[in-house]
A and B are shown apart, each in its own frame.
Chain A
Amino acid sequence: MTFPGVKALENVDFTLKKGEIRALMGENGAGKSTLIKCLTGVNKFEAGEIHLEGFDHPIVNKDTMDAQKKGISTVYQEVNLCPNLSVAENLYIGREPLTKLGTVNRKVMNRQAAALMKQLELDIDVTRNLEEYSLALQQMIAIARAVDMDCKVLILDEPTSSLDDREVEKLFTMMRSLKEKGVGIIFVTHFLEQVYAVCDGITVLRNGQLVGEYEIADLPRVKLVAAMMGKDFDDLASIKPESTGDKRKEPMVIEARGISHAGTIKPFDLDIHKGEVIGLTGLLGSGRSELARAIYGADRAQTGTLKVKGKEVKIKNPIDAMQLGMGLLPDDRKAEGIIGDLSVRENIILAMQAKQGIMKKIPMAKQCEIADKYIDLLQIKCASRETLIKQLSGGNQQKVILARWLATNPDFLILDEPTRGIDIGTKTEIQKLVLQLADEGKSLIFISSEIEEMLRTCNRMAVLRDGQKVGEIDERDMNQMNVMKAIAGGDK
């Protein structure tokens, strides 16, 4: 299988035993997704064979449907279900229980779906539309769908990247019980601790080639990282200088008072100073993203006042915020980040063009120059600047969106889960970039599910719970324990 300009997978062996959970590890573009797509028949492979229990000859999967029939089910990184169908319909799409007349038997379908949800301890009304549930729950439903189809091999491609700890634990319980039943599971993730919590073995890929297949006991964390990156372990913890000085003496960039958006975020106050990195922390759905979106105008604030550099402003649409020097990297990269059918170049210059207005087209030569600059600066892996962004791997897409904002030279940048679904090398690069931007006097909001990552980058953290800002944590009090306590709401 080849992708434009880059060979995606070369001569890779992969073995999965019955009742085994095997982690498939590698950086972005290492070939994990491609390998999976070859196994499930999404991509055709040019050489090699697949053997599966119960078949005495090599199998060829024509498409995912065919693979599912043979017992290989997949849950992908991004939820690939239909948001405007009900949960039950999504669960049974393509295999609906039928009535005698050959129409869909909704009664039976809904009953079976409800039973399945109960079995997995999910509190979900199966007759409601999928889009009414959070991304995390949608992910769980996608897994439930795969689990329900009697499978021998279950492939989970980054299933935990949008789940919180409690939900991850629930998923692990589900995985372990499937393992008992003899299902082999391929688990793709970027979270190292999760690998060690649930897996039996690890297979590592790099640049489309096999690095090795290991038992979990033989490969401690440091060696795993080294194997993935192809170099010695680079200490991730030491990227931030000991003390960053008190940023609160710096002039105020953002002064939010009583801003709210009905149904998502209750009125909050927030001050952000020049060169400061503010972390927003809280459980998934606590209003972290929504707070940032209300400031940026992605969701229009209904109450409160906002001052930018001391001047009171009204933000109705993102473009208003952009003209004031803001930028937002949204958490849902597929739905709100990339423009899939446009090239890397067009995606990079997009925000800059929007800021200049429709009449002032950026000349082609300038566009190419800017695109090349950021492809080089952020080391975006693409065949050329004219490659369509949808053909890039997730991490590289994220870098393109980051480049889009850096090109506008913002004073205040909101990064919502910038490192989700991204390999460890790129993660560090992005974290370093955040600190570097702050050093240049830019202010940032940094949102992440990984507390460690925020501790490494933020000067101050705001804690959210149930759509409300409940407190702030100063730099000197910032440690894992305190943050956890604040999120949980006390010492309980």
Chain B
Amino acid sequence: MMSSIKKLTQKRLFLPIFSMILVMLINVVYDIAMGGAPLGFFMISIKNGVLYGRLIDILNRGSEIAILAIGMTLVVSASGGTDISVGSVMSLYAGVCCLILAGYGNVNVQQYAHPLLAGIGVGLLVTLICGIFNGFLVAYMNIQPMVATLILWSAGRAIGLLLCNSQIVYVRVPSFQKLGGYCSIIPTPIIVAAVCVAIAAVILHFTALGTYIQSVGINKRASRIAGFNSAKIILMCYAICGLCAGLAGMVATSRIYSADTNNIGLNMELDAILSVALGGNSLGGGKFSLAGSIIGAYTIQAITTTLYALGVSSAQAPVFKAIVVIIIVVIQAEPAKAFFKKLTKKSGKEAARA
């Protein structure tokens, strides 16, 4: 019994999953305390013809963070740094996409100026270029990742705002809202996130990309001698991260069918970085677990949603979020792990004696 528990705790994904379950438990306890159904948190019903429930809400609202977490995981692993421009790039996507769909200067349109696919295509292309730009600075110019991505962190949002003539551009066309709305009964963002994660997982499984990235992240010089083009791989990771930011921006824009460049993706980069950390990945680069990051992303959203459900106002929520994050990050830290190991060892010995 003891040994099987020990084995379980040593699994890589144990702590991310444990954190997730912890957040869920808080919900259950709260529901019971408030006299609600004990498993109200997990309840899924159909209201107004679509799926409804807190779980669905978390999956839906967590889509953007999950998509960002994919790119961020690769960037952190390969370069040992973070891309802090993703939130800003999401907003840039919104600006570009709505500019094309609405035409410059129009703030409220009922029909497309150009086809929807052109808007999405050009938007994603721009974010991909943003990623390549970041990657070029980091991989070929040897600029610190945070400094390199600071450029687009500040410029991305501003350019988006310029493209929208400093106004919120509304695209009131049903097909535009589809990506942020519902696909039959399922919220479309969940499907978009699931497809992105699935594509990433398939690529990592069937190509050697994972080995390449981890090898470069652990030892750049040795990887070069062993035949990897370290710079190219780092560039590629940043490019993928830029594209992920575009996809996340696509969902966020469609959700509010407008380019609110001041607010789309605001502070989202921090959630993305936190997902990677919560997933048990070292922010120093090297080995990574995509599954861990994705679980981390939804855990963050679960915390936010739970806080709102508990009646915490959106102004106070960040404080509580910080407390929860501190707890989760500390129990995953090496010294804490060593402490727990000692504890289980001791109790194991005592159990054996008894």
Contacts and interface: CB of A to CB of B under 8 A. Distances in A.
Given A353-B211, A358-B212, A361-B208, A340 B219 contact: yes
Greatest chain B CB density within 10 A among A330, A353, A404 is at A353
Given A353-B208, A358-B207, A362-B208, A328 B225 contact: yes
A318 B225 contact: yes
A354 B207 contact: no
Contacts of A361: 206-208, 211
Contacts of B221: 335-336
A337 B219 CA distance: 9
A342 interface: yes
A322 interface: yes
Interface string A356-372: 11111110000000000
Interface in A306-360: 317-319, 322, 328, 330, 335-342, 346, 350-351, 353-360
Number of chain B interface residues as a range: 20 to 34
Nearest to A356: B208
Contact of A351 (B214, B218, B227): B227
A85 interface: no
Given A319-B228, A319-B229, A350-B215, A339 B223 contact: yes
Number of chain A interface residues as a range: 20 to 34
B209 interface: yes
Contact of B219 (A318, A339, A360, A404): A339
B225 A340 contact: no
B61 interface: no
B222 interface: yes
B265 interface: no
A318 B218 contact: no
A360 B219 CA distance: 22
Given A336-B222, A337-B222, A339-B223, A359 B207 contact: yes
Contacts of B286: 341
A168 interface: no
A298 interface: yes
Contacts of B226: 318, 339, 350-351, 354, 404
B292 to A, nearest CB: 16
B349 interface: no
B287 interface: yes
Contacts of A328: 225
A457 to B, nearest CB: 23
Interface string B183-212: 000000000000000000000001111011
Contacts of B12: none
A322 B227 contact: yes
A339 B214 CA distance: 9
B224 interface: yes
Given A318-B227, A339-B218, A357-B208, 13 more contacts: A318-B226, A319-B228, A322-B227, A335-B221, A337-B225, A338-B219, A339-B219, A350-B223, A355-B227, A359-B207, A359-B208, A361-B208, A361-B211
